Amino acid sequence: MTVDEYETIRLIDYNGLTQEECSVQMNISRTTVQGIYDSARKKLARSLVEGKALVIEGGEYRLCDGEGERCGGACAHRHRRGRAFKDGRNNYHAK
């Protein structure tokens, strides 16, 4: 499974976002999200049913460091004017 496939599963199934919201978060089209999501679900199902290891690697992605513009809102960073700070418990808050 690629990192972008993992991210669609995380955003849609774990965080409860719609495919449209996921597309905004990932900065890709909704139809692209749908294709990535379908592929990810097939790989996840194969892993569960056949007992195969699920390896997450590769794909095209950019990590949010909290320093850039708002990344879409569903990551651990909470942005205001592109800046965030991290408290002692690894939680991010707007400055």
Helix (H) or strand (E) holding 85: strand 84-86
pLDDT at 58: 81
The tens digit of pLDDT for each residue in 34-55 reads: 999 999 999 999 999 999 999 9
The number of distinct structural domains making up the chain is 2
The tens digit of pLDDT for each residue in 8-22 reads: 999 999 999 999 999
Same domain? For 75 and 54 the reply is no
Domain that holds residue 75: 65-95
User: In this structure, which long-range contacts are made by residues 39-46, counting pairs with CB atoms below 8 Å and at least 24 apart in sequence?
Assistant: 39/5, 40/1, 40/5, 40/6, 40/8, 40/9, 41/9, 43/1, 43/5, 44/1, 44/9
Same domain? For 14 and 51 the reply is yes
pLDDT at 75: 57
